[in-house]
Amino acid sequence: EKLFDQWIEGRVLQRYPKVNLAKEEVLFEIRNLTSESGSIEDINITVRKGEIVGVTGLYGAGKTSIGNTLYGLEHYKSGEVFLNGETIQIGSSEECIKNGIGYIHENIKGSLVQNQSVSDNIILANLKKFKSQFQLNKAIKEKTYPYIESLNLKKIRNYQSVSSYSVGSQQKIVFAKWLFADSHLVIIDEPTKNVDVISKIELYNLMTHMVKKGKGILLLSSDVDELIGMCDTLLIMYEGKIVKKLVAKNTTHKEILYYSMGKGNVTK
């Protein structure tokens, strides 16, 4: 609860509340990840503690397939994944959750159970830890309340289904779920799509809050302003491959589009 009180007091209201906190210590690494369908090929990504790594490309380039393949929504053919230097299993949501990897899907309905309450949804990623005889203890549910209040969701009634709320509010609920789970890394796909400006800023503050705690974020997005404003490192995809690595703060819309169209040298 203190952690969230501190976050509220320090919340930044500028459009892109980015902080440069990336450390040298590697948190998460993907080596030569290839999907069975060929939607992605030989993907190599490194995320350091406190770092936001963005992935972008034109429609169909394969960025969404990275998250889907890690989480088992698409089958993977080959590749390795490391967390804190240790090899981990991938290819299913169960394995990812067990290893502290969260996934906020582009389709919000894929990240929440629409007919369940806010508290129940926040607990979902910790269900095996807190579930007892198929019922969630009231005391456990109460642990979610500070998260709800701290995410500017005070008007939300904990017992109402999440389907009652706007896309922006639902996105914040998903963030709260992975914060409650204390995830090491969160993969976020198009988090601000169809979200109003104020909700965008609040979501960006949540990302900043995560990296301040040494977490890592893999941001899959087509919003170039968002990527430049929030990321440390930016990876450009073309036809299922990563073709360029850029320093986000030093790049431009023109350069991103250039490599997204398959021009320039392929990153080795």
- Contact yes or no for 234/247 (Cβ under 8 A): yes
- Contact yes or no for 31/25 (Cβ under 8 A): no
The 10s digit of each residue's pLDDT in 97-111 is: 889 999 998 888 778
Q: Which residue has the higher pLDDT, 185 or 118?
A: 185
The DSSP code for 161 is B
State residue 127's pLDDT score.
65
Quote the pTM value: 0.87
Residue range 2-260, CATH number: 3.40.50.300
Answer whether residue 250 shows pLDDT above 90: yes
Answer whether residue 134 shows pLDDT above 60: no
Q: Kindly list the domain boundaries of the chain, sorted by start residue.
A: 2-260
Answer whether residue 125 shows pLDDT above 90: no
Query: What are the start-end ranges of the H helices in the chain?
Result: 2-9, 63-70, 93-98, 118-123, 127-130, 138-142, 145-150, 167-180, 197-212, 224-230, 253-260
Whole-number Å distance between alpha carbons of 45 and 42: 10
